[in-house]
Amino acid sequence: MSENSVKSSCRIAVDAMGGDFAPDNAVMGAVVAQQGDSAIEIYLLGIKEKILEVLKKNSASFPVDRIIDCPQVIEMEDIPTVALKAKPESSIVIGAKMVKNGKADAFVSAGNTGAMMAASTLLIGRINGVGRPTIGAPMPSEKGFTLLLDVGASVDSKPQHLLEYAILGTIYAKEIYGISNPSIGILSVGSEDVKGNEMSLAAFKLLKDSGLNFYGNVEGKDILKGTVNIVICDGFVGNILLKFAEGVLSLLKYKLKNYAEKSIIRKLKLLMFKSSLKGALSDMDAESHGGVPLLGVNGISIIGHGSSSVLAIKNMILRAKEMHHKEILRKFEESLERYGRK
């Protein structure tokens, strides 16, 4: 229904200095996205000289007037809150400010996650009715994927924060994934209503009375089964789970390599099978989803994995555009009001 009110253009600020392969992947991701979609107006934020170098090296073109020189760089190992103050001329601070000041509709970065969260929360600010912003990550499941949130925006969440995650997640799953009435589960140690810790049990009560499509408690395995569309939890649990899941494919590769090394026949068999395995597990790769959105801040902010590829950066930009065109912020606000959070 909102498709009629689509805005004609979308200005997206991209952190050229963010990620383990910056500025290369970030710059080229922006170039590819820009070439593929002229309705996006991309701004590249970073050390201008370095950005131009990457463009030259790749014989790529990008409008020079949309390269915003940011002489400071927040490194991956910088302490977020310290870095924000010490490096006001960094791409992360300037990108967040562009969104705050209405000069960009979205900001995308594969840089320091903590700094990106802090800049988004502190500089852009929260949506009215949101106590704590949250990061939602798609986890692979038998039915495609399960949206897990929070995966690390905050720890020691209170029950009302879980309710907020559920509201924000519902809108996100509806608008971005096209799930008409997404079901929500609370991550717990058993599926029975009485299972949980103090916080999850209190959140259970809030969710039960919320009017949202609440399924009840779910267990760790339900994320992978796809029992519900959305699983909510405290960021401490979600982050540990996300990083564990990221390690699973690495362990699998390690085990297969180790097994193959014991004989030539094994090695040949594995070589033959490699492409099948890759094909079968392709959608378990986080890269294909691009980054994860920080939901609840008063602007569009997408955080990418440090190892983001060119494709991942491009996908993050396209996701930002989609969120903007679907007016997701307005829908968050409306939904928070509907469910009594403001």
Residue choice 57, 205, 208, 255 for contact with a copy of itself (CB under 8 A): 255
Taking CB under 8 A as the binding criterion, the range among 99-107, 128-136, 244-252, 311-319 that sits at the site for a copy of itself is 244-252
Residue choice 92, 237, 297, 313 for contact with a copy of itself (CB under 8 A): 237
Taking CB under 8 A as the binding criterion, the range among 56-64, 129-137, 186-194, 318-326 that sits at the site for a copy of itself is 186-194
Cis peptide before 23 (omega within 30 of 0): yes
Closer CB to a copy of itself, residue 64 or residue 277?
Answer: 277
Minimum CB separation of residue 223 from a copy of itself in Å reads 6
Question: Are 17 and 91 a contacting pair, CB within 8 Å?
Answer: yes
Under rule CB under 8 A, residue 247 binds a copy of itself: yes
Under rule CB under 8 A, residue 142 binds a copy of itself: yes
Distance between CA atoms of residues 187 and 190, nearest Å: 8
Closer CB to a copy of itself, residue 6 or residue 277?
Answer: 277
Closer CB to a copy of itself, residue 54 or residue 230?
Answer: 230
Q: 83-89 — which CB contacts under 8 Å span 24+ positions?
A: 83/112, 83/115, 84/115, 84/118, 84/119, 84/122, 84/123
Taking CB under 8 A as the binding criterion, the range among 15-23, 35-43, 150-158, 327-335 that sits at the site for a copy of itself is 150-158
Taking CB under 8 A as the binding criterion, the range among 99-107, 125-133, 163-171, 217-225 that sits at the site for a copy of itself is 217-225
Minimum CB separation of residue 276 from a copy of itself in Å reads 5
Sheet holding 144-149, edge to edge: 67-69, 40-46, 10-15, 106-109, 300-303, 292-295, 134-141, 144-149, 230-232, 184-187, 214-218
First to last CA, the chain: 24
Any bridge partners for residue 293, and if so which? Answer: 302
Under rule CB under 8 A, residue 259 binds a copy of itself: yes
The answer for residues whose C-beta is within 8 angstroms of residue 145's C-beta and 6 or more apart is 138, 139, 226, 283, 289
Question: Are 238 and 150 a contacting pair, CB within 8 Å?
Answer: yes
Give the type of residue at 130. Answer: V
Q: Which two tokens stand for residue 89?
A: 């001329």
Which residues contact a copy of itself (rule: CB under 8 A)? 140-142, 152, 155-156, 187-189, 196-198, 200, 219-225, 233-237, 239-248, 250-252, 254-256, 258-260, 266, 269-270, 272-273, 276-277, 279-281, 284
